[in-house]
């Protein structure tokens, strides 16, 4: 495309003007169709349409239409689309007049986002700075929106939570002027991510509510998808797991025709995080394992964590061996944080101290950050740091990190991660054994049992109950489960009847009764029954 043959309005001056006009008209029709496909979530069709439109724009020698093709899609990560956008943006930047600050700013911003998605983080940061400078000169809404989006993309990858919230507020202010659904959508989603990175779930919920209002008002399926998946992620973060699973399914159904990998991968990412919190084996594990094979590190690491918490240690080890060599070369994008925190859990579980220490050093600059977003929540950086410190036997440091994580999570009422962190804190206190540590560990572990049971965190419930039993055994006192069994013994039930009533195996009941006899220095079930009556936990008529 030769700039010398183009007027400032993009009109051609050659003798084939009629053909060029027809090609330009056909280009506009394809661009309109591409925009409809994009808003319907059909990213596969959208990519093909914008490439065909761009080819017509080149033939019609219309840099304005070429630029328009590059700018159809905003904020969606898709390998095919991103590759097309990088190429289209570079072509358009080369032919759009350099003094057209607004269009150049939009193209630079779009290029920055696509480069970022493709892992070229440094180049993306540079392009985002150019976009901001051009937008400041242009002083118009489209240029400002594109530059803000580019800065948001870089800020998210670097964990700049406060900046994300500020950028979201600026985009919402712009939306109030422009009336743009797209600007409002971006402003709210950036706010949600930034607030969840700060563990501020109540504030994030306000943005989610606003997204739902926007979806209802506009009828836009892409907005509805964002609203539903954001609420699903929020529900997982606070422990409403059934709601999270239901909403994730509804989000997927809203864009059922979509072929974009991002939409489907985010759906399975949410299911994985929900399954991790439930902590029990399910058919989902096998399906996700097949999806993970050959997938990016974030998928393999997260599924490895799922395998770990559900007892599939051989599968978790295979996942760890697959992801371990890829960690050093991972780009610092938004996938880096969840990959690293999941990898810390795997490194500690498989006693890989060198990698665990290396990951600790990588995470330390981000202490105070909660690894969470619209997809859902993992854990605070402080929790991962505590895991490594505890694994290395540095219990004072581990306890300090776990305490900081508990404080952060309690402010946002992020129940699943809070329960997991309390279990880790109680275990570290019990190991340290300083004056007052044992009693404090018992209290914290008991709180974890209550919360795990209330939220349906079955895997964490088993861990917390086991810790409570262990601490009670060390102190010579009966655990809550042992006291419960003592009540059943006082009622005259057999081991089989107790096992049926409490959904335990007879062997487990027998073990509990032997522990009761040892702790109380008794020799018979009759003594246990008499003790239960004397303690007031059973009646003499039982």
Last residue of a domain, one of 204, 219, 237: 237
- For residue 536, the model assigns a pLDDT of 83
213 domain-assigned: yes
Residues 377-415: tens digit of each pLDDT: 999 999 999 999 999 999 999 999 999 999 999 999 999
Region 116-136 average pLDDT: 91
Strand intervals (E) in 202-330: none
Contact 290, 283 (CB under 8 A): no
Please give the pLDDT value at position 12. Answer: 47
The total of structural domains in the chain comes to 2
pLDDT reported for residue 79 = 81
Q: Say whether 370 sits in a helix, a strand or coil.
A: strand
Q: Is 521 part of any domain? A: yes
How many CB atoms are closer than 10 A to CB 259?
17
Tell me the average pLDDT across 85-97. Answer: 94
1 pLDDT more than 70: no
Q: What is the pLDDT of residue 285?
A: 60
Q: Are 43 and 258 in contact (CB under 8 A)?
A: yes
Tens digit of pLDDT for each residue in 73-89? 876 777 888 899 999 99
In a domain, 473, yes or no: no
Q: Containing H/E element for 518? A: helix 506-520
Q: DSSP labels for 371-399? A: EEETTEEEEEHHHHHHHHHHHTT-HHHHH
Q: Single out the residue in 220, 237, 254 at which a domain terminates.
A: 237
85 part of a folded domain: no
Largest Cα separation within the chain, whole Å, is 108
Is the pLDDT at 249 greater than 60? The verdict is: yes
Yes or no: say if 454 and 418 are a contact pair by the CB < 8 Å rule: no
Closest CA to 60 of 99, 89, 31, 90: 31
Q: Rounded distance, CA 519 to CA 529, Å?
A: 14
Predicted local confidence at residue 273, as pLDDT: 96
Determine contact, residues 157/339, Cβ cutoff 8 Å: no
Domain assignment present for residue 356? The answer is: no
Rounded to the nearest integer, the mean pLDDT of the chain is 90
Using alpha carbons, select from 141, 161, 163 the residue that is nearest to residue 151. Answer: 163
Q: How confident is the model at residue 7 (pLDDT cuts 50, 70, 90)?
A: very low
* pLDDT tens string 347-365: 999 999 999 999 999 999 9
Any bridge partners for residue 380, and if so which?
370
Give the domain extent around 488. 478-542
41 pLDDT tier (thresholds 50, 70, 90): confident
Using alpha carbons, select from 80, 92, 145 the residue that is nearest to residue 117: 80
Does the residue 3 lie in any domain? no
The pTM (predicted TM-score) of the whole model is 0.76
What are the φ/ψ torsions at residue 373 (nearest 5 degrees)? -175, -165
**Is 90 exceeded by the pLDDT of residue 425?**
yes
Among 427, 414, 444, smallest CA distance to 387 is for 427
Which has the minimum average pLDDT: 32-36, 53-57, 75-79, 155-159? 75-79
497-522 in b/e burial notation, b at 16+ Cβ within 10 A? Answer: ebbeeeebeeeebeebbebbeebbee
3-state helix, strand, coil in the chain (%, to 5): 75, 0, 20
Any idea what the Cα angle at residue 47 is, between residues 45 and 48, rounded to 5°? 70
pLDDT tens readout for residues 177-205: 999 999 999 999 999 999 999 999 999 99
What is the percent of the chain with per-residue pLDDT over 90, rounded to a whole number?
70
- Residue 124 pLDDT exceeds 90: yes
CA distance 180 to 140: 14
How many angstroms separate the CA atoms of 153 and 131, rounded?
A: 13
Inter-helix orientation angle 297-309/336-349, to 10°: 40
**pLDDT higher for 263 or 307?**
307
Kindly tell me if the per-residue pLDDT of 5 is higher than 80: no
Domain boundary among 207, 237, 267: 237
pLDDT at 129 over 60: yes
What is the four-CA torsion angle of 72, 78, 83, 89, rounded to 10 degrees? Answer: 30
Model pLDDT for residues 443-461, shown as the tens digit of each residue: 999 999 999 999 999 999 9
Q: Are strands 376-380 and 370-373 parallel, antiparallel or unpaired?
A: antiparallel
Residue 199 lies in a domain: yes
pLDDT exceeds 90 at position 332: no
Q: What is the pLDDT at residue 327? A: 94
Residues with Cβ < 8 Å from 48, sequence gap 6 or more? Answer: none
Other C-beta atoms within 10 Å of 108: how many?
Answer: 25
Q: How confident is the model at residue 296 (pLDDT cuts 50, 70, 90)?
A: confident
Residue 118 lies in a domain: no
157 has a pLDDT exceeding 90: no
Q: Give mean pLDDT, residues 203-220.
A: 96
How far is Cα 500 from Cα 506, in angstroms, rounded to an integer?
8
* pLDDT confidence bin for 266, thresholds 50/70/90: confident
Q: What are phi and psi of 478, to 5 degrees?
A: -75, 140
- 8-state DSSP, 538: S
CA distance 442 to 457: 19
Higher pLDDT, 72 or 519: 72
What is the per-residue pLDDT for 204?
97
CATH number of the domain enclosing 498? 1.10.10.10
Nearest to 297 by CA among 351, 346, 343, 261: 343
Q: Which of 228, 229, 187 is nearest to 207 (CA)?
A: 187
């Amino acid at each position: 495309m030769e700039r010398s043959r183009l007027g400032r309005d993009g009109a051609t001056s050659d003798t084939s003007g009629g053909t060029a006009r027809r090609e330009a008209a056909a280009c506009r029709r394809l661009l309109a169709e591409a925009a409809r496909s994009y808003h319907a979530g059909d990213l596969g069709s959208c990519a093909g349409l914008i490439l065909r439109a761009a080819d017509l724009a080149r033939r019609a020698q219309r840099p304005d239409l070429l630029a328009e093709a590059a700018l159809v899609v905003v904020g969606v990560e898709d390998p095919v689309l991103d590759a097309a956008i990088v190429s289209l943006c570079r072509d358009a930047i080369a032919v759009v007049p350099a003094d057209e600050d607004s269009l150049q700013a939009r193209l630079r911003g779009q290029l920055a986002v696509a480069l970022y998605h493709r892992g070229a983080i440094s180049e993306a940061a540079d392009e985002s700075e150019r976009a901001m400078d051009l937008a400041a000169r242009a002083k118009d809404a489209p240029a400002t929106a594109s530059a803000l989006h580019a800065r948001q993309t870089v800020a998210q990858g670097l964990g700049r939570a406060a900046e994300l919230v500020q950028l979201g507020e600026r985009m919402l202010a712009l939306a109030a002027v422009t009336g743009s659904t797209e600007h409002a959508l971006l402003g709210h989603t950036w706010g949600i991510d930034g607030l969840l990175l700060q563990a501020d779930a109540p504030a994030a919920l306000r943005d989610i509510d606003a997204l739902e209002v926007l979806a209802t008002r506009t009828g836009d399926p892409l907005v509805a998808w964002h609203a539903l998946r954001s609420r699903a992620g929020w529900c997982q973060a606070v422990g409403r797991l059934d709601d999270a699973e239901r909403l994730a399914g509804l989000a997927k159904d809203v864009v059922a025709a979509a072929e974009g990998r991002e939409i489907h991968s985010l759906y399975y990412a949410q299911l994985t995080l929900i399954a991790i919190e439930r902590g029990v084996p399910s058919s989902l594990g096998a399906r996700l394992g097949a999806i993970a094979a050959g997938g990016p590190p974030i998928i393999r690491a997260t599924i490895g964590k799922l395998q770990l918490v559900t007892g599939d240690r051989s599968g978790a080890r295979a996942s760890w061996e697959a992801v371990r060599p890829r960690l050093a070369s991972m780009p610092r994008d938004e996938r880096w944080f969840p990959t690293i925190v999941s990898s810390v859990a795997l490194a500690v579980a498989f006693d890989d101290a060198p990698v665990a220490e290396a990951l600790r050093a990588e995470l330390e600059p981000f202490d105070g950050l909660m690894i969470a977003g619209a997809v859902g929540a993992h854990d605070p950086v402080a929790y991962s740091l505590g895991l490594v410190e505890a694994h290395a036997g540095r219990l004072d440091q581990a306890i300090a990190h776990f305490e900081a994580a508990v404080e952060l999570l309690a402010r946002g009422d992020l129940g699943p991660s809070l329960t997991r962190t309390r279990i880790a804190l109680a275990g570290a206190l019990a190991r340290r054994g300083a004056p007052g540590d044992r009693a404090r560990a018992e209290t914290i572990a008991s709180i974890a049992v209550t919360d795990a049971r209330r939220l349906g965190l079955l895997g964490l419930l088993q861990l917390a109950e086991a810790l409570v039993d262990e601490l009670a055994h060390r102190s010579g006192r009966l655990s809550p489960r042992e006291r419960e069994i003592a009540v059943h013994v006082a009622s005259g039930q057999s081991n089989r009847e107790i096992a049926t009533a409490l959904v335990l195996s007879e062997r487990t009941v027998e073990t509990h009764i032997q522990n009761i006899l040892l702790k109380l220095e008794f020799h018979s079930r009759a003594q246990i029954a008499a003790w239960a009556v004397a303690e007031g936990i059973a009646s003499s008529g039982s």
